[in-house]
Amino acid sequence: MLNISVLKYCLKFAWNDMSTRKTRAALTILGISVGISALIALMSIMGGMRYQIEDRLNRYFGVGVRLGGKGEMEVPDYLAESFKMMNMVSDAYPTISGSGLLGGQNVFILGIPAGKLDDYLSTVQFISGGKLNETDKGYILVSNGLMSKGDLKIDDRVEVYAFSSGKKDYFTIKGVFDPGLSFGNIGLVVMKFKEAQKLFDAEGYASEIVIKLASNDQIDPFINYLKKLLPDAKITTSKEILSKINEILDIINVTLLTIASISLIVAALSVMNTIMTVVRDRIREIGILKAIGATRSHILSIFLGEVLILSFLGGIFGIIGGSIASRLMSDAFGRLTNIYITPLISVDYILAGLSVSISVGLLSGFYPSWKGANIRPIEALRYE
C-alpha cells in the first residue's frame, strides 16, 4: 500500500510542515542534539581516557612481564641472567626497591642496573647532571621535587638510610630527573642495583625481575611456563593491570552514561511535545487526507517522517556539538590539572549517537502520531 511515490510525499509533507514552523523545529532539534552531545562528549572523553591509560601502561611495561616474590626482596637475582638466555626473551634485568630516608626526608629507593631506568620508568625525563653508567660507584640520581625540598645541589654528598635493613651509606648526587609520575609527596632516589642490594642487606636477591619478550603473543605461553617453574612467584603483566583499570573505568562509564540519559529523556519529552503540537495543528489536514482515501499507515508515515527528519538532524548536530564539547572540556581539564586527554571520536560513537537519537525520536513520536492517525475523519474535518 505504501509505494515509493507516496513515501516521497509523506517526507515532503513533513519537510513543508517543518519549514513553515521553523522555530519549533529548530527548538526540537536543539533539544535532541543537547542530549546526544552530552552522550557523545562523555563517550569520547571516556574512550580517550581508556586509550591513554592503555597506552601509558603499555609503554610502562613494554612487551613484558614482571616477576616478583611474595615478600619484598626474595627473588634470586641470577634468574635475570638465566631468563636472558631463553630464545623468546629479548632482555631481563633485576630491580630492588624499598623505602628510606635521605637527609631526613622520606624517600623511595630504587636500585637498577645502569641504562635500564628509561625502560623501567618510561615517564622519566632527565633534567640536569649525568646518568648512571656501568663504572659509577657511590652515585645516585634524585627526583626534582626532592632536590628543591631538601635544598640539594648536584655533587652534594648525602646520607641514605634504608628502613628494612637499618643500614646507611653516603652517596654523591650525579643527576636530577623528573619522574613524570607522582609518588605522592615522597621523593625518588635511584642508585646502582648492586649498591642498593648492599644497602638493603639483600645481596643475591631482587624485588622484581623485569622480563622483556620478543613479541606480544609470547606473553601467555611465557606466563604459563613461569607459573609452572615458580608457583609462588607474583607475575604481573600490563594486560592484567589493564583489566583491573577497565573494571573501574566501566563503573565510571555507566555512571556518566546514566547522567547523559537523563538529558536524553528531556530530549524525548520535547520530541513528544512537538509531535503532539504538530498533530493538533494538522488535524484538519488529517481529515482532508482521510477524505481522499489516505489510510492510517499513510498518515502515520507523514508524522513519523517528520520525527525521522527531526531526530536525524538532532543526531547530526548532537554529534558535531558533542565532538566540540569534548575538545573544549578536555582542554579546560588539561589546563587545570595538566593531564591532557585527547577525546576519541570513532565511527562507533557516531553510529551510536545517530541510532540513539533516531530510536528516542521514534519511540517518543509514535504515541502522538498513532493518536493523530486514529482520529475519526469527521472529527478531523470539523476541527477549525
Partner 1 sequence: MSSDIAIELINVKKIYRLTEEITVEAIKGISLKVHRGDFISIMGPSGSGKTTLLNLIGTMDKPSSGRIIIEGLDVTDLPESQLAHVRREKIGFVFQAYNLLTTLTALENVMLPMLLTGKYSESEAEERALKLLSLVGLEERAHHRPIQLSGGQQQRVAIARALANDPSFILMDEPTGAIDTITGSKLMALVKLLNETYGQTFIVVTHDPSVAMVAKKKYFIRDGLLYEGSEKSLHNFNASFSDSEINRILQAQLKLLLTDLKALKRRRTEGKISEKQYENLKSELKRKLNLLERSMRIEI
Q: Is residue 336 a contact residue for partner 1 (CB under 8 A)?
A: no
- N- to C-terminal Cα distance for the chain? 30
On whether the CB atoms of residues 94 and 80 are closer than 8 A, the answer is: yes
Residues between 4 and 33 with contacts to partner 1, criterion CB under 8 A: 5-6, 9, 12-13, 16-17, 20
- In whole angstroms, give the CA distance from residue 228 to residue 245: 27
Per rule CB under 8 A, is residue 231 in the interface with partner 1?
no
Q: What one-character-per-residue DSSP string does 1-57 give?
A: ---HHHHHHHHHHHHHHHHHTHHHHHHHHHHHHHHHHHHHHHHHHHHHHHHHHHHHH
Q: Which segment (259-267, 270-278, 351-359, 373-381) binds partner 1 by CB under 8 A?
A: 373-381
Report if residue 377 touches partner 1, rule: CB under 8 A: yes
Cβ 316 to partner 1 shortest distance, Å? 24
Give Cα 232 to chain centroid, integer Å.
Answer: 33
Helix (H) / strand (E) containing 380: helix 377-382
Stretch that binds partner 1, among 45-53, 227-235, 294-302, 340-348 (CB under 8 A): 294-302
Question: Is 1 among the residues that bind partner 1 (CB under 8 A)?
Answer: yes
306 near partner 1, rule: CB under 8 A: no
Residue 60 CA to residue 2 CA, distance in Å, equals: 61
Least distance (Å) between residue 302 CB and partner 1: 11
Q: Which of 135, 290, 324, 325 binds partner 1 (CB under 8 A)?
A: 290
| Residue 11, all three cell numbers | 517526507
- Specify the stretch interacting with partner 1 by CB under 8 A; choose among 111-119, 194-202, 342-350, 372-380: 372-380
Instruction: Let me know: does 202 contact 96? Beta carbons within 8 Å.
Output: yes
* Binding residues for partner 1 (CB under 8 A): 1, 3, 5-6, 9, 12-13, 16-17, 20, 284-285, 287-296, 298, 376-378, 381
